[in-house]
Amino acid sequence: MANDHATIDMRPVHAFLEELAERDMRLHSLIVHRHGRTVLDLWQWPHEPHLKHKIHSATKSFTGTAIGFAEAEGLLGLDDPVVSFFDGRLPAPPTENLSRMRVRDLLTMQTGHGRGLSGATTRLRQTGWIGEFFEEPVVELPGRCFVYSSTTSHVLSAIVQRVSGQPVDEYLRPRLFEPLGITDFAWERDPEGVASGGNGLSMRPRDLLSFGILYLQDGMWQGERVLPPGWAQKASALHVRRAISGTWNGRELLPPAPDAVADSGYGYQFWTTEDRIYNASGIFGQECMIFPDQGGVVVVTGAMGEDTYHDLPEMLRRTFRKAFDGAEREDDGVEQWVRRAREPEPLRPSACRSAFRETYDFKPNEHGVDSLSVDVTADAVLLVIEDEHGRHTVEHGVGRWLRQHTGVSVWRLHHSYQDARAPILAAAEWTSADVLRLTWHFLEAPFIDTLTLRFDADGVTVEHEVNVNSGPTALPAVRGLRRI
C-alpha cells in the first residue's frame, strides 16, 4: 500500500472494506489515484499485482474507445448504418428496424432488441458471434430503448476490424496500449478471429488504472494526446438517462420491470451518472470508475456473487464521494486489512490417508469427465483428468499450495470461459479418511473451484462447485467406478 494519503480520507475506505467482508464480496485489488498520484494500492492473496485479471464486461469500454479512434481517422461515422458494414453476412434481407440501426445505437445499447445476449451463451457458439446478433429480431425502433447486451459490443469490435483490417486488440496496440505502457494483456477472439467486443480482455489492474487516468485527463498522457479530442467527453456523456442491465435467467438478459430503479445511465460503452461519475464495469466485481470533479480514479477487481456485485458501483460512488471530499484522515483499519489480505489462505492440518493410486472411469456426465486418476502420497495428491478438452495433470500440495497451469474443463461453472493454460494454485485437504477436498485458485480470474472426492470400495463420487458464476455454482455429483 502506498503511504501517501495526503488527498484522501481513509475512514470511508475502511468502512467500505468492512462492508465487503460482511457481505462476502471478495476483493482482489483496490487501487485509488488522486491528483496525479496513486494514494492507495491494495491486493489480496493470491492475486499479486504482476498478474493479469479478467475484466469481463469492462472490456466494452475498450471496444468503445476503438470506435472513437476509427471515427477520428475517418474510417466510420457514428450515424453509419450497421448493416452497411456486413454486406453478404446478414442471414436474411434486413428488416426496416435493422436497416435503421446506427453505430451510435450500438454504443448506447439502444439497438431495438427485446432482450440482451451474454458472453455466457455467445462463447459456446462454434461459428462467428456476430451471427447471433443478426439472428435476434429487432422489435423496436433503434435509438429509443436501452437493452444491455454483450453481443452488441461484439458487433462494434467486428466493425472496427472490417474498416481497419485488424482485430481490435491489434488496432488498439499502437494507439492506446503502447502509449500507456500496457504490454501484458490478452484478448479472447471468436471462431472467426474477431476480438471479443463485450468481454474477454485480461490485463493487470494497474494497467486498467492507466486507462481510467487517461480518460480522467481528457485523453492526455504524459503531455501527449492519446485519445481523439473530445472523445472522453462524448463517451462519458449521459446519452441514456435510465440504464439497467436487466435480469439474467441463464440464457438471456430480460428487460427490467418498468418500476425498477436505475442508479446510473449510459454513455458510449461506459456507465455514467448525473454527477458525471462514470465507469467501465464487469461481472463479479471488476470496476474502473472515474471521478472527474474530484480528480480521482478507482479500480477494483474481485470475486463477488450474482447477488452482490450489482451493488458494487453504488458502494464505490458512495465511498469515494466521501473519501475524496473529506479532509485528510488515516485509518489504521486499512493497514490491518492489508496485512491480513496478503497472508496465504490457511490450510487445515489433515491426516493423510495411506498412500494409494487408483483410476476411475465415468459414463457421459455433466462434468465432461471421462476418467480420473488419483495418486496420493504423504505430501501431495496428483490428479490426472481426461475430459472433453484432453488430458490434464494437476498436482496438489497437502498443507501447501502448488502453482501450475491447467486447461481442465471448467467452462460450465466459469461463465463459459475456458482457458487452455490458466494459472492456478492447487492444494488438497483430507476432511475425513474417505473424503478429499481439492481447491483451485484461478490466479487471473474470479474463480475458486472446489472438488470433493468421496471414495468407497467400488469407486468415487465427484462434486464440483465454484465461488461465483452467472448460473449454477455447483454441478450434479457424478460417480466413477474403479478400473480393474
Span 202-222, pLDDT tens digits? 999 999 999 999 999 999 999
Average pLDDT value over all residues in the chain: 93
Answer with the residue of higher pLDDT: 131 or 330.
131
Give the DSSP letter string of 99-126: HH-BHHHHHTT-S-BSSB--HHHHTT-S
C-alpha cell at 191: 471462431
- 3-class state of residue 391 by DSSP: strand
Residue identified by cell 499450495 is 401
Sign of CA dihedral 41, 47, 53, 55: negative
Answer with the residue of higher pLDDT: 26 or 120.
26
* Predicted model pTM: 0.95
CA dist 83 and 103 (Å) reads 10
Q: What pLDDT, on a 0 to 100 scale, did the predictor assign at position 239?
A: 97
Contact 353, 376 (CB under 8 A): yes
Span 48-89, pLDDT tens digits? 999 999 999 999 999 999 999 999 999 999 999 999 999 888
Helix axes 312-325, 10-22, angle to 10 degrees: 160
Q: Give the percent of the chain with pLDDT over 90.
A: 82
Q: What end-to-end distance do the CA atoms of the chain give, in Å?
A: 56
Mean pLDDT is lowest, of 118-122, 142-146, 371-375, for 118-122
Q: What pLDDT, on a 0 to 100 scale, did the predictor assign at position 331?
A: 79
- 3-class state of residue 245 by DSSP: coil
Q: What pLDDT, on a 0 to 100 scale, did the predictor assign at position 4?
A: 45
Q: Is residue 2 very low, low, confident or very high in pLDDT (cuts 50, 70, 90)?
A: very low
Residue type, 286: Q
Query: 99: number of CA atoms within 13 Å, CB side?
Result: 5
Answer with the residue of higher pLDDT: 189 or 262.
189
Backbone dihedral angles phi then psi of residue 121, each to the nearest 5 degrees: -100, -35
Q: What pLDDT, on a 0 to 100 scale, did the predictor assign at position 5?
A: 45
